[in-house]
A and B are shown apart, each in its own frame.
Chain A
Amino acid sequence: DLVFPSLSYRTGPFAAGGIAFADGYADYFTLLNERDGGIGGVMASVPECETAYNAEKGVECYEATKAEGALVYQPLATSITYQLIPKVEVDGIPLHTMGYGRTSAKNGEVFRHTFNYPVNYWDGASAGVNHFLDLNDGSLEGRKITLLHFNGAYGKEPIPTLEALAEKHGFELTTIAIDYPGQEQKSQWLQIRRERPDYILFWGWGVMNQVAVQEAANIGYPMENFMGIWWSGSENDVLPAGAAADGYKALAFHEMGSDFPVFDDIQTYVVDAGKAAGAGDQIGSVLYNRGLYAAFLAAEAAADAQEATGEPEITAAMMRDAMESLEITAQDMEDAGIPGFGPVFSVTCQNHGGDGLASVAQWDATAQEWSLISDFFPSDGEVVNALIKADSEAFAAENDITPSCD
């Protein structure tokens, strides 16, 4: 079997997001098994392990599953990522943190087993600013941007990038932190109401998201100037606010909706066969699609590895090599039944993070759907890459790693 452990969380404070992602991740592999007889003829298995978004349980899950021949880990939590980064180096198992985790892991010379393609948080910060630049004909001079963020590793991640960008583009950056779990954001929003920033960038997760959207609506903040990172842009986050959430934006790095051939197959081969991972009610939701996308990227890499080595039963090391030379083309997506689902990108040893392409999605409250309102556009590589270089080199120095590609 090809083992793709799913460190999921279907309980606890972030269950709402975790469930959809885990369903998508599992269903895609089930589909491959049911429809194609696995990957390259070998069945995929997806042992699930509940982490509850908790670092300790995450580690326990990792240890419990790694002996089963795990090919790649997708822990879906920045905190767990930090625990696993050193461990995967030693165990030689690749770690894929898609759109989260440690941004500087993009530098594959230092983080040999960690991948964070296709985008990372610093790309996200820059993409957000780029979008605002677009809206303002390329100048944010004298504008006010507020970063409203989760008070933890995840939420603090974009701050250095935004500081650099603020300097570059001449906007004024303020940061407002929200403590976990973020059910009460009165003071934060009163502050926003008073300061009236032109734009708000938002790094939230869990209940914090919907409360923020609700509060923004309550104070009458213009929704189209309020933009979340991709983890703050699912149906869960906007539905509770009803019509008031209309126009809220979020970044994205893949397509929305269920308008792809793959979903028909999932319906026939997975749901109708009674093999769906969850209740089957998440299909086509933003986070379900993201889980599916993660599974797709993993399956592609596994297939590449089989092709490159000629071995159907690949090992984690082969998987890693394949991930390092992963190339996602339009054809790959077409074949998988998700044409144009995400940007095309490629991975190299120097660049474990893909091309950093993101897009902007917007919520339409009447149609009750998210849709992309822009193409996939690049982040400010100049700023982001410099930061990544500095951070990863510092890490290398601290841990006696000589950056290299072999």
Chain B
Amino acid sequence: MSADFLYGIEVIINGLMAGVLYALVALGFVLIFKASGIFNYAQGVMALFAALTLVGVMEGQVPFSHVINAVFGTEIHHFGWEVPALLAIFVTLMVMVLFAWLVQQLVFRHLVGQEPIILFMATIGLAYFLEGVGDLMWGSEIKTLALGLPQGGSLVVEDWTAGLGGDDFYGFFIDKLDMVATLVAIVLVAGLIGFAQYTKQGRAMRAVADDHQAALSVGISLNFIWVLVWSLAGLVALVAGVMWGAKSGVQFSLSLIALKALPVLMLGGFTSIPGAIVGGLIIGVGEKLFEYMIGPMVGGATENWFAYVLALIFLVFRPQGLFGEKIIERV
């Protein structure tokens, strides 16, 4: 096999892995959208916030210490203890649940029945808010997430495959972190699909998405369902935050991964959990291949827009995305 061909394969494999990471973020969007018709722009910031909280808790940082110091002129920073990773993850989850509950009580409860664009706007407001709170709470400097996740190319795979091509081929490069992420994603998705399809709450969640008023009228508690899905989205955000945070440190830009998830959503369909995965994979492979093959001809850095254009092309043929619910058009 020619080296070029094998490199193409390598790009595809890595694209798939990248796709899994995109899908992790997209999943959070899907959950909330499915349950409430809310397009939650804050999902990216939630990932950042979750990761920040995790690091903060692990390192025993005093929340809001910056503010306290600035206002009272004190000099406090740390509690002086360190929290083991598992416990810290649990604490962070609790924080995310609390966050879900607050969001519901203070914001979305009052917006029941509003048009989607209004809800969308509210989530952008929420994103601003949460970003500010995250910064105030934990500070805006870069933090390293030391969960001990493996990093770097897998030598096993590389050695194993090095013989496939000629001298110009060095074996497949696969990042160990990506492999972990893939495993986690599979588990998460299986769980979520089971939840949505086979539980009473899952059905209620989809009902709520269709018609808030009618859901209320049959006795579904919007509050409960929404706190539930926001908590789930918080869980997904934490996972995404950990995976991305391990890659690039925990800092502001983590919130921008939301932008990578949007084309994934479009392509997979806003309401489909499997869609998020398949969409992620297609986008991952598509953009990497395009950058690999066409990129050099047009000057590179095509990934940001290519994902969107790819999704757009798919949408022209299937306006509801690959797995999205068919848009019902009747008069």
Contact = CB atoms under 8 A, between A and B. Distances in A.
Question: In their complex, do chains A and B touch, with some C-beta pair under 8 Å?
Answer: yes
Interface of A: 10-13, 15-16, 19, 151, 175-179, 181-184, 186-188, 190-191, 193-194, 206-207, 210-211, 214, 217-220, 236, 239-240, 244, 274, 279
Contact of A239 (B14, B144, B153): B144
Contact of A207 (B73, B253, B287, B295): B253
B254 interface: yes
B300 A177 contact: yes
B248 A210 contact: yes
Interface string B232-262: 0000000000001001110111101100100
Interface residues of B, number: 45
A11 B252 CA distance: 8
B52 interface: no
A218 to B, nearest CB: 5
Contacts of B300: 151, 175-177, 188
B115 interface: no
A13 B253 contact: yes
A124 B248 CA distance: 26
A184 B77 contact: no
B301 interface: yes
Given A179-B303, A190-B292, A207-B253, A217 B152 contact: yes
Interface in B144-158: 144, 151-153
Contacts of B173: 190, 193, 218-219
Contact of A214 (B248, B256, B299): B248
Interface stretch (B103-111, B134-142, B180-188): B134-142
B10 A179 contact: no
B248 A187 contact: no
Given A183-B244, A186-B288, A191-B292, A210 B142 contact: yes
Interface in B100-138: 135
Nearest to B257: A183
Contact of B140 (A11, A188, A194): A11
A372 to B, nearest CB: 24
A219 B153 contact: yes
20 contacts: A11-B252, A15-B141, A16-B141, A16-B251, A177-B299, A179-B301, A179-B303, A183-B247, A183-B257, A186-B14, A186-B288, A187-B288, A190-B173, A193-B170, A194-B7, A207-B248, A207-B252, A207-B253, A211-B248, A244-B152
A183 B144 contact: no
Contact of A206 (B7, B10, B69, B253): B253
B43 to A, nearest CB: 15
A215 B113 CA distance: 47
Contacts of A13: 251-253, 256
B291 to A, nearest CB: 4
Contacts of B299: 177
Interface of B: 7, 10-11, 14-15, 17-18, 66, 69, 73, 75, 77, 135, 139-142, 144, 151-153, 170, 173, 175, 244, 247-249, 251-254, 256-257, 260, 287-288, 291-292, 295, 299-301, 303-304
B153 A218 contact: yes
Contact of B301 (A177, A194, A279): A177
B11 A187 contact: yes
A356 B301 CA distance: 31
Given A210-B248, A218-B175, 7 more contacts: A19-B140, A151-B301, A181-B253, A183-B248, A191-B291, A207-B252, A274-B73
Given A207-B248, A219-B173, A178 B301 contact: yes
Contacts of B135: 11
B228 to A, nearest CB: 30
Contacts of A274: 73, 75
Contacts of B151: 214, 217-218, 244
A202 B292 CA distance: 20
Contacts of B17: 186
A78 to B, nearest CB: 17
B117 to A, nearest CB: 26
B153 A187 contact: no
A34 B202 CA distance: 65
A207 B249 contact: yes
Most A C-beta atoms less than 10 A away, residue of B144, B153, B251: B251
* Residue in A176, A181, A210, A217 with the greatest tally of chain B CB atoms within 10 Å: A181
B288 A240 contact: no
B73 A240 contact: no
A186 B18 contact: yes
Nearest to A52: B252
A241 to B, nearest CB: 8
B288 A236 contact: no
B142 A16 contact: yes
Nearest to B296: A191
Nearest to A182: B253
Contacts of A187: 11, 14, 287-288, 291-292, 295, 303
A220 B152 CA distance: 8
Contacts of B142: 16, 207, 210, 236, 240
A10 B291 contact: no
Contacts of B73: 274
A214 B15 CA distance: 18
A251 B198 CA distance: 59
A220 B153 contact: yes
Contacts of A220: 152-153
